[in-house]
């Protein structure tokens, strides 16, 4: 099977698997990450086959919906790619990207090992920013029955993946625990530039949110 056909089949597989998911980790999230990754990848000297496969499969089995198990995503991705007869070196690369892609806490540093991984991680993080990032934050918070905001609950900069996985913080706290940190964590110059405007949108949103919370505006 040629590379183009593998991408087409993987696209259909993920679309079928994630379409209609309500937490902000649905097919359309994957679609946007895929398109972001293609855009960023074209500015870098990368293997676009690896980039596209990893972008499409990065949320095939997200740990957030599998009891915190960060091994299941790479496992499911491997099973799919093996079923298509994809080369083992490609599978290893894609699965490593999927394992390392997630933000695991403000104090947890897990560096991507390849430029392809950096591209896909940036593409995923960009979809957590801006207007769409705001919408996804509240969609996810609602799916987990989290409070929108509680001024008596302070944000926590988690220093371990375990603490981050088990956090019950509010949706507004998530901006400070993750989203507002992402601009400085982008790997590529292209993504850093794209992140600037999206970051500013979130800052403006939070300013307005607090005004409305206190009945000022």
Ordered alpha helix ranges (H), 19-65 = 27-41, 48-57
Read off the pLDDT of residues 67-109 as tens digits, 9 standing for 90 and up: 556 678 899 999 999 999 999 999 999 999 999 998 877 777 7
Q: Which architecture does CATH list for 3-213? A: Orthogonal Bundle (1.10)
Whole-number Å distance between alpha carbons of 135 and 131: 6
| pLDDT above 80: residue 217 | no
Read off the pLDDT of residues 22-69 as tens digits, 9 standing for 90 and up: 778 899 999 999 999 999 999 988 999 999 999 999 988 665 655 556
Q: Rg of the Cα trace of the chain?
A: 17
Q: Give domain limits for the chain.
A: 3-213
Neighbours of 64 (CB within 10 A): 16
- The residue among 164, 99, 172, 129 whose CA lies nearest residue 33 is 129
Q: If you average pLDDT over residues 178-187, what whole number do you get?
A: 95
209 falls in which pLDDT band (50, 70, 90)? Answer: very high
| pLDDT above 70: residue 160 | yes
């Amino acid at each position: 099977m040629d590379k183009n056909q593998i991408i087409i089949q993987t696209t259909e597989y993920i679309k079928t698997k994630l379409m209609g998911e309500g937490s902000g980790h649905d097919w359309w999230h994957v679609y946007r990450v895929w398109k972001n990754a293609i855009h960023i990848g074209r500015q870098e000297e990368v293997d676009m086959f690896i980039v596209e496969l990893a972008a499409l499969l990065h949320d095939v089995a997200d740990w957030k919906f599998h009891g915190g198990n960060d091994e299941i995503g790479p496992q499911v991705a491997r099973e799919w790619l093996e079923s298509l007869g994809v080369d083992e070196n490609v599978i290893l690369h894609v699965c490593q990207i999927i394992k390392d892609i997630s933000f695991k806490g403000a104090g947890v540093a897990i560096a991507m090992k390849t430029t392809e991984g950096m591209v896909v991680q940036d593409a995923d993080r960009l979809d957590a920013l801006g207007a769409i990032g705001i919408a996804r934050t509240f969609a996810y918070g609602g799916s987990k029955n989290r409070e929108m905001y509680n001024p008596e609950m302070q944000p926590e900069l988690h220093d371990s993946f375990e603490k981050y996985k088990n956090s019950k913080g509010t949706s507004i706290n998530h901006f400070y625990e993750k989203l507002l940190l992402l601009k400085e964590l982008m790997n590529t110059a292209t993504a850093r530039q794209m992140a600037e405007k999206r970051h500013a949108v979130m800052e403006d949103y939070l300013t307005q949110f607090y005004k409305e919370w206190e009945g000022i505006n």
